[in-house]
């Protein structure tokens, strides 16, 4: 019984932040909830729409109460990144909100959205009442019957569930971290795919350019990167030791993926491995790095790739120093260094805390990993 009461209270508390959208007696304010991949992008699409009072990034649809971003990012909580829209129904209709939603997503992708792959990035329309359910189902039927898609529309329509507001740094991210948001978005594949996709009028996939597997447009990427950078991140190349940009860099700051801008390493975890490549004992953001077996060149190694950028970064070895015993041996060409003093200007202000005194600075998150097999 106690567990049921706790869940009921959590549901009420997660809902409470929308209970007074200026004036609780103004019944014209209604709620709509959409999951469409990265909530930064979905929030930005709704936030400036006339008739929308507020768009809030959060997590919903799962089983974990009060989840954190790190927990949702594992894909194990059942939650999706979503946006709850508080709107004035006298100014904008639910049908119009659906039209805006369809324009932001690829409704045929059940693995995520664009560079963001995983169950937490799938697309779902969460309805709050029977009327919203009816309108959403009709909208989806129009798309399915239009013949505009050569694959099934997999966007789900589900009843609204407890909604947990995301951490404050995620709210209005497109405004508070404009440069970083634009860097991510321009390389996410979302804008390359986006089209006027009002119900029944979506273009046929393939008739407009769509990035392969949701990745950044390769021709644009090849033009933006140097030949060496492209060779490393897309062709699994390796730069020459002792003749690369960061192997001997001793400045304080962070290292991000040269393709996507996602945070990878901190200078505080960098060490001289005497190999001629930048080496780190651990990632600053472990969830941004994918490790997988690499059997190329007659060897068995662990390759490190960035999650969003899908960039080849380097390899991970078991011959590093304490506290992890690991050596993340990276290619400078796959990285971009952001000095400590430029973090806020570059849109990475939340990482300034890692360069406080040793006693004050938080420790990077590092998941337990058995060996390197």
Set 38, 41, 197, 202: catalytic member: 38
pLDDT tier, 281 (very low <50, low <70, confident <90, very high otherwise): very high
Find the angle CA(363)-CA(364)-CA(369) to the nearest 5 degrees: 115
Set 41, 197, 202, 329: catalytic member: 329
Report the b/e string of 75-96 with b at 16+ CB within 10 A. Answer: bebbbbbbbbbbbbeeebebeb
d(CA 223, CA 236): 18
Looking at residues 311-328, what average pLDDT do you find? 94
Among 10, 11, 212, 190, which Cα is nearest to 114's?
Answer: 190
Read off the pLDDT of residues 23-73 as tens digits, 9 standing for 90 and up: 433 567 999 999 999 999 999 999 988 899 999 999 999 999 999 999 999
Looking at residues 252-272, what average pLDDT do you find? 95
Q: Is 68 helix (H, G, I), strand (E, B) or coil?
A: coil
Is there a catalytic annotation at residue 38? Answer: yes
Quote the tokens at residue 154.
């997999």
In whole angstroms, how far apart are CA 82 and each of 22, 35, 355? 22, 4, 32
Is there a catalytic annotation at residue 329? Answer: yes
Residue 288 contacts residue 278 (beta carbons within 8 Å): no
pLDDT tier, 2 (very low <50, low <70, confident <90, very high otherwise): very low
- Centre a 10 Å sphere on the Cβ of residue 53 and count the other Cβ atoms it contains: 16
Above 60 in pLDDT, residue 363?
Answer: no
Q: Which fold has domain 2-18+25-212?
A: 3.30.1060
- Centre a 10 Å sphere on the Cβ of residue 74 and count the other Cβ atoms it contains: 13
Domain parsing of the chain, residue ranges: 2-18+25-212, 225-355
Quote the tokens at residue 215.
């990745």
Strands 52-60 and 80-88 turn out to be antiparallel
Q: How many CA atoms lie within 13 A of 372 on its CB side?
A: 17
225-355 and 2-18+25-212 share a CATH fold = no
Quote the tokens at residue 362.
């938080």
Read off the pLDDT of residues 170-225 as tens digits, 9 standing for 90 and up: 999 998 888 788 878 877 888 777 444 533 344 333 333 333 333 446 777 888 89
Give the CATH class of 225-355. mainly beta
In whole angstroms, how far apart are CA 135 and each of 57, 95, 155, 181? 23, 7, 14, 32
Read off the pLDDT of residues 321-342 as tens digits, 9 standing for 90 and up: 998 999 999 999 999 999 999 9
**Average model confidence (pLDDT) for the chain?**
83
The per-residue pLDDT for 4 is: 44
């Amino acid at each position: 019984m106690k567990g049921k009461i706790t869940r009921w209270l959590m549901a009420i508390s997660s809902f409470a932040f929308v209970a007074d959208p200026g004036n609780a007696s103004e019944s014209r304010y209604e709620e709509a909830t959409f999951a469409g991949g990265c909530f930064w992008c979905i929030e930005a699409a709704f936030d400036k729409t006339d008739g929308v009072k507020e768009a809030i990034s959060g997590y919903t649809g799962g089983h974990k109460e009060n989840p954190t971003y790190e927990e949702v990012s594992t894909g194990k909580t059942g939650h999706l990144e979503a946006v709850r829209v508080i709107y004035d129904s006298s100014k904008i209709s639910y049908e119009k909100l659906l039209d805006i939603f369809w324009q932001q997503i690829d409704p045929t992708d059940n693995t995520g959205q664009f560079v963001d792959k995983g169950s937490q990035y799938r697309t779902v329309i969460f309805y709050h009442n029977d009327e919203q359910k009816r309108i959403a189902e009709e909208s989806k039927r129009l798309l399915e019957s239009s013949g505009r898609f050569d694959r099934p529309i997999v966007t789900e329509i589900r009843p609204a569930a407890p909604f947990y507001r995301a951490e404050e740094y995620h709210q209005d991210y497109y405004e508070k971290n404009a440069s970083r948001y634009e860097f991510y978005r321009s390389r996410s594949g979302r804008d390359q795919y986006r089209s006027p996709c009002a119900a029944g009028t979506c273009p046929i996939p393939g008739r407009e350019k769509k990035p392969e597997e949701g990745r950044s447009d390769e021709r644009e990427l090849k033009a933006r990167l140097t030949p060496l950078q492209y060779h490393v991140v897309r062709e699994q190349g390796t730069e020459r030791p002792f003749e690369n940009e960061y192997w001997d860099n001793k400045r304080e700051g962070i290292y991000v993926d040269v393709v996507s801008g996602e945070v990878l390493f901190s200078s505080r975890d960098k060490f001289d491995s005497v190999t001629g490549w930048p080496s780190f004992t651990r990632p600053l953001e472990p969830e941004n790095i994918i490790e997988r077996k690499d059997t190329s060149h007659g060897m068995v190694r662990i390759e490190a790739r960035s999650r969003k950028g899908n960039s080849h970064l380097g390899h991970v070895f078991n011959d590093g120093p304490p506290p992890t015993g690991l050596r993340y041996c990276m290619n400078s060409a796959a990285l971009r260094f952001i000095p400590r003093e430029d973090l806020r200007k570059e849109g990475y202000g939340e990482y300034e805390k890692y360069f406080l005194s040793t006693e004050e600075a938080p420790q990077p998150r590092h998941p337990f990993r058995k060996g390197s097999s």
